[in-house]
């Protein structure tokens, strides 16, 4: 990453504290967080965990919704099948009487 800034030097884009901030004493109750305090290993593990949690959550949610639909569809299909089975003998009886 050629354009990556030096990790030991905080950027001066306004969002990050400038060098003078580090030299000053922190305000009461505020703990300064220079970049060195964050372990690269921890950040890496958290990043990969977030990726997997997001993917698994999406898949599980979609799968459960599909299963729910499948259950309802099976119930409706069974009801329709029963109804159709009940209609067939009556149709046959009416056809025989017409003959």
What's the half-sphere exposure (Cβ side, CA atoms, 13 Å) at 92? 6
Tell the smallest beta-carbon distance from residue 92 to another protein (Å). Answer: 13
CA dist 25 and 14 (Å) reads 19
Q: Choose, by CB under 8 A, the member of 25, 30, 47, 96 that binds another protein.
A: 47
Q: Are 7 and 35 in contact (CB under 8 A)?
A: yes
Q: Which of 26, 65, 92, 93 binds another protein (CB under 8 A)?
A: 65
CA distance 99 to 79: 31
The contact set with another protein (CB under 8 A) reads 1-7, 10-11, 13-17, 33-35, 38, 40-41, 43-44, 46-48, 50-51, 54-55, 58-59, 62-63, 65-66, 69-70, 72-74, 76-77, 79-81, 83-84
């Amino acid at each position: 990453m050629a354009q990556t800034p030096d990790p030991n030097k905080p950027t001066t884009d306004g969002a990050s504290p400038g060098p003078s901030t580090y030299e000053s004493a922190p305000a009461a109750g505020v703990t300064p967080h220079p970049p060195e305090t964050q372990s690269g290993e921890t950040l890496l593990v958290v990043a990969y965990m977030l990726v997997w949690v997001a993917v698994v959550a999406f898949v599980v949610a979609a799968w459960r919704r599909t299963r729910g639909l499948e259950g309802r569809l099976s119930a409706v299909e069974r009801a329709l099948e029963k109804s159709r089975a009940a209609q067939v003998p009556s149709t046959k009886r009416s056809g025989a009487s017409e003959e």
